[in-house]
Structures are given as C-alpha cells and as structure tokens.
C-alpha cells in the first residue's frame, strides 16, 4: 500500500467513498469492531477511501449521515436472520429438526449467533444500492445479504439441507482451504479470470444462496451445484459506474502460501473493477450536481436586472461611488446587475439541502476553484505585449 506524503494530502483530489460495515468480536471482555485488512488494502490501493460503518445499536437510522455514498462493500459476518427471507416459523426451519439446529449451532458456534443490528444496517445499505444504482460488491455473507435484499433465499445449513460432499469450510485450514468452482462463460468473473473455465477458490461458509433473486445471473458453481458468484447483467458496466456483484468465495484470501501474491490475477481484478465503477459513479454524481446547479441558477437566479425605480423600491439604491464604478465598467444603472439575496435567505436554502447534496456542491466548487486558479496562472505566465 502506498503511503502519501503531506504534499500529496494537500493537493490530492477528493476520492470516492466506499462504505464497509464492521463486524464485532469480544476482546478483553469488551466488544470491538473490526474489518478484515485485506479488504481495506484492496480498496485503498485502487484509489478509493474505505469508510467503516460501526456495528453499534441505532446506526441503521443514521446512515444518511454517511453520505455521499459512492460504493458499498459488504463482507463476512454471522448468519443472516432466517426471518428476513422466510415467511413463517416453519419455513424458517426449512425441514430442520431442533436436534439438527442444536448440532449446527455447536459445530458453527462462531457464526450462528444472529446479529440483528448488523442485519438491519447491511440490508438497509444493500436496498439503497438497489434503489439508487450505487456500486455494490458482496463477499461471502455480503453476497447472501444482497440476494436476500433482492428477494432471494438461503440454505440455513448446506450440509444438512443439501447433503453436499463438497467441503465449503475448514476450521483447521482457513487460509489454505480450496475447492473447485466452474466459471460461467461470458460473465464478468470469466473475464476477470482471463477466460478460465475452472478455478480453485477459498471459501468459509455453511450457508449459501438457495433461490437466487430474479434479477441475478450465476457466474460460478461449486461441484455440488451451489452458486459461488452472481451478478446483475443490467447493472454491470464499471466504466459507466454500474456494478452489482455477489461472490460467495473469498478472492481477497486466495494467496500463495506465505506471501501476498494472489493465486490468480483475477482475485485483485474483482476489486479493481469495483473501484473503477465507484470512481465513475462519483464523477457522474458530480456532473449531475453541476447540471442541477445550472438548472437552479436559471430558475432561481440570484442576479436581477433592476431599473432605478426597482432599486429604490427594494431599498438597495446604489451609492454615487458604486454608480460611477458601474459607468466605468461600461454599464448603466438601469441595466446593472445587483445581488439582492440576503445572507439569512442563503442560509435557509443551504439548510434544506442534504449532506449528500452539500458534499457534491463542495466537490464541484473545489473543482471549479482549481480550474480558475490554473487559468489565472496560465494568464500570468503569458508574455506581456509591449
């Protein structure tokens, strides 16, 4: 990861923001929030800023304060609450006996504790991405959350429900564990992995996609038929800021033993394409904000051409000095432009804007300031005519 110096920090542009929800664990008898560093490194190294959303009570009602959101990455965590994708208690058990459920909880003790707060935060973000076309990448649990948000369902335990012979989790060999995955042709995953039809993937899950949301198309299958990756073909074009992808396996962990080298270049490509979409989405938002400003300027212009009578009526008569100055500039009092917007009116108008819109306006004005500054510098450097 490249570390910027002070000059870089002062002159750098405003980078796109990727929200990542933390996971909590118990350390020294206290809960601490964390996010896997592999994810953070891959976001930063590709030119975006990871913004960690803490998994704390009540944060789901404060998500608007994290605007602007240019992308969302959801990764590992506990089991998704089955009540979120099952209609009744019987369907929630999916044919599992109480003995089966107790055995699953014992075998997967670190993952089966339901975290409803994390569920609420992540489902809210996933649905927001679906509604507003915000780029989204889901890894492991994150892909399951995306599927549930789009109306899909999950296997609560693939061993019990599917009777699979494919080993999807190995508690004793977390990093080194691999199983085969068949890649579907003409999908983004097929392109990331340079046309390979089969890859060996790292996985760590006992739940998985059961019924895939209607908008999605599978990108890879495990030998037992489980979906290892999916995407929305109508929402995939990184150059245009579109990216909606779920991966059940862990590309960030697929590295050569004892090094940071990836098993396949495609592991890093998944994050590169995601950040490319995030960056394009940010630029589109800035352009949209600029266009909106121009439209608003035409509708609610701050500058009004006033006759002398209008000036007197508005109690904003020009002083003699101002009048002379206008005449020097080749203007007349009748056609002069006068700003009549008062400070309190401006403040009320700004208070009505969302944090997201204010941030977009700030980015736009900074960009315009930089362009104006560069233009002034060029003019100052031009040779003076004699």
| Of 328, 159, 192, residue with least CA distance to 263 | 192
DSSP 216-246: -EEEEE-TTS-EEEEE-GGG-BGGGTB-EEE
Active site residue 337: no
Q: Which of 78, 122, 252, 273 is catalytic?
A: 252
Compute the residue count for the chain. 386
Active site residue 140: yes
Q: Which of 140, 205, 267, 273 is catalytic?
A: 140
Half-sphere exposure of 384 (CA within 13 A, CB side): 2
Active site residue 372: no
CB burial string 308-332: b at 16+ within 10 A, e below: eeebeeeeeebeeeebeebeeeeee
The beta strand positions in the chain, using DSSP E, are: 17-21, 23-27, 30-34, 49-53, 71-74, 136-139, 154-155, 179-183, 198-201, 208-209, 217-221, 227-231, 244-247, 303-305, 337-339
Residue 373, phi-psi category: left (phi > 0), alpha (psi -120 to 50), beta (remainder): alpha
Instruction: Mention every residue, 6+ apart, whose C-beta is less than 8 A from residue 301.
Output: none
- Burial class from Cβ neighbours inside 10 Å (0-12, 13-18, 19+) for residue 340 reads middle
Relative to beta strand 179-183, strand 198-201 is: antiparallel
Distances in whole angstroms, Cα of residue 249 to Cα of each of 31, 85, 170, 175: 27, 21, 13, 12
Distances in whole angstroms, Cα of residue 259 to Cα of each of 120, 193, 277, 379: 36, 20, 28, 52
Q: Which of 39, 205, 206, 250 is catalytic?
A: 250
Residues with catalytic roles: 140, 250, 252
């Amino acid at each position: 990861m490249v570390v910027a110096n002070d000059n870089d920090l002062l002159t750098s542009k405003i980078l796109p923001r990727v929200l990542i929800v933390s996971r909590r664990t118990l350390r020294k008898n206290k809960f601490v929030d964390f996010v896997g560093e592999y994810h953070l490194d891959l976001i930063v190294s590709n030119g975006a800023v990871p913004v960690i959303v803490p998994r704390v009570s009540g944060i789901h009602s404060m998500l608007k304060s994290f605007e602007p959101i240019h992308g969302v990455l959801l990764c590992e965590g506990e089991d998704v609450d089955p009540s979120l994708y099952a209609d009744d208690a019987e369907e929630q058990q999916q044919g599992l006996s109480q003995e089966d459920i107790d055995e699953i909880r014992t075998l997967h003790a670190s993952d089966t504790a339901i975290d409803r707060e994390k569920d609420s935060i992540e489902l809210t973000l996933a649905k927001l991405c679906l509604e507003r076309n915000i780029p989204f990448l889901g890894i492991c649990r994150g892909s399951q959350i995306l599927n549930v948000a789009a109306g899909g369902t999950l296997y609560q335990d693939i061993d019990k429900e599917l009777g699979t012979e494919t080993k999807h989790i190995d508690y004793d060999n977390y990093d080194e564990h691999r199983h085969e995955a068949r890649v579907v042709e003409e999908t983004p995953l097929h392109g990331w992995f340079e046309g390979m039809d089969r890859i060996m993937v790292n996985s760590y899950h006992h739940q998985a996609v059961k019924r895939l949301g209607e908008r999605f198309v599978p990108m890879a299958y495990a030998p037992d038929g489980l979906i290892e990756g999916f995407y929305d073909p109508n929402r995939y074009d990184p150059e245009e800021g579109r990216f909606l992808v779920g991966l059940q396996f862990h590309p960030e962990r697929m590295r050569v033993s004892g090094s940071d080298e990836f098993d396949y270049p495609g592991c890093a490509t998944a994050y590169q394409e995601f950040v490319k979409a995030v960056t394009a989405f940010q630029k589109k938002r800035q352009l949209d904000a600029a266009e909106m400003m121009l439209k608003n300027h035409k509708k609610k212009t701050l500058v009004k051409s006033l006759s002398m009578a209008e000036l007197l009526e508005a109690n904003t008569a020009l002083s003699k000095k101002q009048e002379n100055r206008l005449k020097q500039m080749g203007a007349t009092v009748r056609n002069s432009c006068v700003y009549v917007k008062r400070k309190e009116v401006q403040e009320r108008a700004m208070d009505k804007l969302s944090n997201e819109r204010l941030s977009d306006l700030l980015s736009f004005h900074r960009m315009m300031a930089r362009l104006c500054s560069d233009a002034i510098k060029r003019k100052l450097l031009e040779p003076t005519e004699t």
